[in-house]
Structure 1
Amino acid sequence: MATRDNVMSHRKRSIAEEPVTSVLPDGDVPYDPRHSFNPDEEVLAALGYKSEFKREFSLFTTFCVSFAVLGLLPSFASTLTYGMGYAGTAGMTWGWIIAMLGIQCVAMSMAELCSSMPTSGGLYYAAAVLAPPGWGPFAAWLTGWSNWLAQVTAAPSVNYGISAMILAAGSINNPDYVPTDWQTFLLTVFIMILHAILSSMPTKWLAQFNSAGSTFNFVALIIVIILIPAGTNRSSRGLPRFTPSSEVWGTIYEGTSFLPGVSVLMSFIGVIWTMSGYDSPFHLAEECSNANLASPRAIVLTSATGGIFGWFLQLVVAYTVVDIDQVLDSDLGQPFAAYLIQCMTQKMTLAILALTIIAGFSMGQGCMIAASRVTFAYARDDCFPLSNYWKQVNRYTQTPANAVWFNCAVGILCLLLILGGSVPIGALFSIGAISAFVAFTIPIFIRVFFVGKRFRPGPWNLGKFSMPIGAFASAFVLLMVPILCLPSSTGAELNAANMNWTCVVYGGPMLIVTVWWFVSAHKWFKGPKVNIQHMMLGREEAIVEGQSAAEDHEDSSSGDAHAAEKATKS
């Protein structure tokens, strides 16, 4: 009788009673006769998955990974050629504010989805669940591959920026030294391998390592924001200490062949790529305690904090830069280093570069971790060739080590673009911006325009503002996708050397996977695969008969206690 009472107690916690929007129908009940779910496991089970990781990330440590992936200081240093080079200081000041309005709306809409579906699959799972009937697998397929392209190119692009800064520092110390493409490539590969080794560590070590890295990132950012205006030597060069505000805010640098307004929009690539790491808490949700609250809060906190402090960094650089043309065309091969040497002493320049390089190393590490969780989640649903290998969790570290090394290998192949020069490798940054935003927005767009009342909000939600914020986020991304594909030159000046390769490097793989879908994948890919036992309501007798003796240790009061615990937590 106790067994039957226990079953009935467990059966009361159906999908319909959970604050989730699940791939399972409301009548389904997650079920494991050998294990009593804690609140986090119960929410994940309602989404169709069993817990496979230790939940050793908290709100703070999740935010730390996310902020490390965001990496404001190294991100800004790596993309200065776009933010400053396309529209000058105007794009860096008021342009950043405009871009952040759209980005914050995307982040809040994503956080709402995360609270309702806190699983490593993240946006991919959301697209599958929210899409109109019959379209779920295709929506998940496109979202998953676009998001994976963003994730797998993040660490290579970050590490390329780190390598360029390290070699630029060498050039500052020894003006006769000019870095070669091969040296940059080999150094970047070395950093990639280091990150892969570190990313294979146990979850607890990863949390501690990234907490330290994120703390350093934040401290280094504050130091640099203070050091630049305090240590600039513009006055000793016969210049005013700071550029007048009328020039900083009112002058649009003609870095493209388009109208000034379009140039400002094109400069948003630097903002979008810099701010694209706030989705990491979504992918770490299965390793986070109290995930349906902590993970969405970490998303919004990362985006808001990054937006504010990123703007401060933009301001101090905009007010102290001397000559934009020299920054972009310097022999150092790294615009941020070229900017620093214009307005700082050599020692101060090297000190700031050192802080940026260390912060960048932490950022690349965070990118590698987030990408491995995405690869694991997609491989769990057999999205990739040889998925059986990539979805394995290492029994010693309890982390998806195979997925880490798979991403490392793909990233190293992407780095071969370095040998083609600065323009082809620059496509990695454009891919990171456009593919991430496309993946972010597909489920948000579906949520706003196709779902209606089928969406069940989690404990963190936008309430009555959900639809207008989601609509604005979708409109912003629809505007930016074609803008990010525009070349900086037009007409007779446009050639293979200065074209925008984003449409090729991103569009090519997405065209291939779309064709793959219609030719083959639609026959076998059905979206997220549940990997936990579940049962339908109305089958009490069959369930009781099938119970194993392992359930006898649970009494009927354990279900009530668990429900009370979950209610208190919520």
Structure 2
Amino acid sequence: MKPSASNTDKIHSNPISPVISQVHVDDLGISSILSNKHVTLNIDHEVDKDEALILAMGYKQEFKREFSLWSVFAVSFSVLGLLPSIAACFDYQQLVIGMSPIPWIIAVIFVTSVALSLAEVASAFPVASGTPYAVSRLAPPKYQSFLTWITCWSNWMCQITASPSVNYSGACMMLALRSYNDPSYTPTNGEIYALTLGIQIVHGIISSLPTGWLAKFNSAGTTCNILFLFIVFVMILAGNNRQELNPDIEGLTKFNVNAISWSLYNQTEWPTGIAMLMSFLGVIWAMSGYDSPFHLSEECSNAAVAAPKAIVLTSTVGGLIGFLFMIAIAYTVVDIDLIAQDPQGLGQPFVTYLAQIMNGKLVIAATALTIISSFFMGCSCMLAASRVTFAYSRDGMFPGSRWWKQVLPLTQTPVNAVWINLFLGQLFLLLMFAGDVAIGAIFSVGGIAGFVSFTMPTLLKITYARDKFVPGPWSLGKWSSPIGFVSVAFVAVMIPILCFPYVRGADLNPEEMNWTALVFFGPLLLATIWFVVDAHKWYVGPKSNLDEYIEYSDQDELEGIDGKVEHVTSNEKS
């Protein structure tokens, strides 16, 4: 093949390597940063279908593809961490609207619609950067850079707050268990912070391991999470001894009657409908993590199919299991008001709930299993976040991107991205010294930031790009637009709701304010100012790192086998 005139300078300035494979981007039928430019990629080694796809998307294959559908689902389900998530979110659901499972099932329906739309996008753009890459392909050219920039920062904030919030909750449960065994002990914020830091460091070490090891670790973690969730579920129902533990409550039966179990108990100063929407935070945070397969696409075989399937499996299976778990809680909880008062000073409503219905040894066992599940969940969160930081650094988004995008040759993983995330996560955790309401903001931020990122490509897909979106092999078909509209509408309602304080009027003060608006929209405002003042001059969205492979040709010069990948020898290269 004769080199084109446009590449003459490259050929004279770079060593000539034998071409083993050619990928003709436009023949793959995808929308990427290289498509519709008549690009041929001359590769010096044989490429398979997975590598051809990521090359056509504009990136080198830098990770080993050692995640299967099960492995990716394992990471995603571990990030979901239903048992520790439900435990951590007791404050945001049961202590807002009562014990009823109704808010959970309603919220899950809408969350699943968001997940389905996200899965369709993941199939069309299976790259580690996730939704920002999709936005860059779907947005109007005039606003492409800005919308991609905002989506990146929003998704990144979702990712880097996930691990510290999970590990903060896990540390609190550990110390609550000590308080349960030693009523004279009350943990300090300094002790909680130090314990959380220790857990974060262990997770940082694990997340720096080779991909194959991580796949096995997360598979084991998911197996434990599912098993422990089932065990605690059985313990709640079979170990329920609430009649003997609460002799002062007259007429208490082994299980609550339907009228009590499914009733709403508004504990806010807002109308019941608003309170129910506010309680969705618990469901949203507990169900977050289904986007993880998107960010592991470059480490997964057959990513265009496996990643969206893992997203849908995580959302549907997690939603159903969580609903069953919520039913168990609804039929066994004794007194929501007493849990809120925390008479034993445990600081963890879930542990206080267990103490209402179980004997001491069972409380310790159930809490211990929840803590172990929380450990696996936090590790998976850190893994997913490191891949996001790597991907965005590859596009030059952050200060110091050249450091954070590096892949350690020994492990073939982005180790620097792991540790900068850990450092930033510990900075977020300083909010705990400002009080319980302040630290609760990182839970809300995770929900809002994730929603903004997840639905931005969906919004563009059903509006501006409705005629240009090219679906991948996994598609919603005729349901794409209806489900997309439901997703966007739900997110539009929930973003302001998640910023509401739980009190209002004269009761609203700096200590009771919802810090979410400051913690999320503050950094997002700074990112916007940065873009307007400076970043618009150099940030263009996803950038290819394939310069040495790219050859631009007239379309009639492109030839390939089956229009996909062509293998040639060095002797056939002129």
TM-score of the superposition, structure 1-length normalised? 0.92
1:179, 1:83 → 2: CA distance?
24
8 Å contact from structure 1 (residues 19, 459) kept in 2: no
| Residues 311-330 of structure 1: pairs in structure 2 closer than 5 A | 311-330=323-342
8 Å contact from structure 1 (residues 19, 457) kept in 2: no
The equivalent of 2:452 in structure 1 is 438
For residues 554 and 45 of structure 1, do their structure 2 counterparts lie closer, same or farther at Cα, with a shift above 3 Å needed?
farther
8 Å contact from structure 2 (residues 113, 483) kept in 1: yes
1:192 aligns with 2:209: no
| Residues 60-459 of structure 1: pairs in structure 2 closer than 5 A | 60-90=70-100, 93-236=101-244, 237-238=246-247, 239-250=252-263, 252-330=264-342, 331-459=345-473
8 Å contact from structure 1 (residues 30, 46) kept in 2: no
The equivalent of 2:504 in structure 1 is 490
1:483, 1:28 → 2: CA distance?
47
Note the alpha carbon deviations across 1:491-524, whole angstroms, 9 max, x for none.
0000111111100111100010011111111111
Note the alpha carbon deviations across 1:99-129, whole angstroms, 9 max, x for none.
1111111111111111110000100101111
For residues 212 and 542 of structure 1, do their structure 2 counterparts lie closer, same or farther at Cα, with a shift above 3 Å needed?
closer
Q: Secondary structure at the match of 2:32?
A: coil
Please state how far the C-alpha of 1:9 moved relative to its aligned partner: 11
Q: Secondary structure at the match of 1:362?
A: helix
Note the alpha carbon deviations across 1:133-164, whole angstroms, 9 max, x for none.
22111111000000000100000000000000
Q: Secondary structure at the match of 1:309?
A: helix
Please state how far the C-alpha of 1:537 moved relative to its aligned partner: 3.7
Equivalent of 1:523 in 511, 520, 537: 537
Please state how far the C-alpha of 1:16 moved relative to its aligned partner: 3.2
1:523, 1:217 → 2: CA distance?
47
1:234, 1:308 → 2: CA distance?
26
Equivalent of 2:39 in 29, 41, 59: 29
8 Å contact from structure 1 (residues 283, 374) kept in 2: yes
1:552 aligns with 2:566: no
The equivalent of 2:477 in structure 1 is 463
The equivalent of 1:546 in structure 2 is none
1:491, 1:362 → 2: CA distance?
41
Please state how far the C-alpha of 1:36 moved relative to its aligned partner: 2.5
2:258 alignment partner AA: S
2:107 alignment partner AA: A
Any unmatched runs of 5+ in structure 2?
5-17, 560-566
1:68, 1:293 → 2: CA distance?
20
Higher helix share: 1
Please state how far the C-alpha of 1:441 moved relative to its aligned partner: 0.8
Please state how far the C-alpha of 1:555 moved relative to its aligned partner: 7.1
Equivalent of 2:65 in 44, 55, 76: 55
1:467, 1:8 → 2: CA distance?
43
Note the alpha carbon deviations across 1:48-84, whole angstroms, 9 max, x for none.
1110000000000000000000100001111111110
Please state how far the C-alpha of 1:19 moved relative to its aligned partner: 4.3
Report which stretch shifted further, 55-64 or 171-180. Answer: 171-180
2:40, 2:26 → 1: CA distance?
11
8 Å contact from structure 2 (residues 24, 558) kept in 1: no
Q: Secondary structure at the match of 1:535?
A: strand
8 Å contact from structure 1 (residues 28, 534) kept in 2: no
Equivalent of 1:38 in 17, 40, 48: 48
Q: After the TM superposition, which parts of structure 1 deviate over 4 Å for at least 4 consecutive aligned residues?
A: 1-4, 7-11, 539-543, 553-556
Report which stretch shifted further, 318-327 or 350-359. Answer: 318-327
8 Å contact from structure 2 (residues 19, 44) kept in 1: no
1:22 alignment partner AA: S
1:438, 1:296 → 2: CA distance?
19
Q: Secondary structure at the match of 1:134?
A: helix
**Count of residue pairs the alignment pairs up:** 545
1:25 alignment partner AA: S
Note the alpha carbon deviations across 1:258-304, whole angstroms, 9 max, x for none.
00011000000000011110000000000000110111100000111
2:520, 2:178 → 1: CA distance?
33
1:117, 1:28 → 2: CA distance?
19
8 Å contact from structure 2 (residues 461, 469) kept in 1: yes
Q: Secondary structure at the match of 2:551?
A: strand
Q: Secondary structure at the match of 1:450?
A: coil
1:263, 1:405 → 2: CA distance?
38
8 Å contact from structure 1 (residues 69, 277) kept in 2: yes
2:134, 2:44 → 1: CA distance?
29
1:107, 1:347 → 2: CA distance?
39
2:296 alignment partner AA: L
2:568, 2:371 → 1: CA distance?
54
For residues 180 and 10 of structure 1, do their structure 2 counterparts lie closer, same or farther at Cα, with a shift above 3 Å needed?
closer
Q: Percent identity?
A: 49
Note the alpha carbon deviations across 1:158-212, whole angstroms, 9 max, x for none.
0000000000000111111111111111100111111101110011100000100
1:30, 1:224 → 2: CA distance?
55
2:105 alignment partner AA: I
1:538 alignment partner AA: D
2:187 alignment partner AA: P
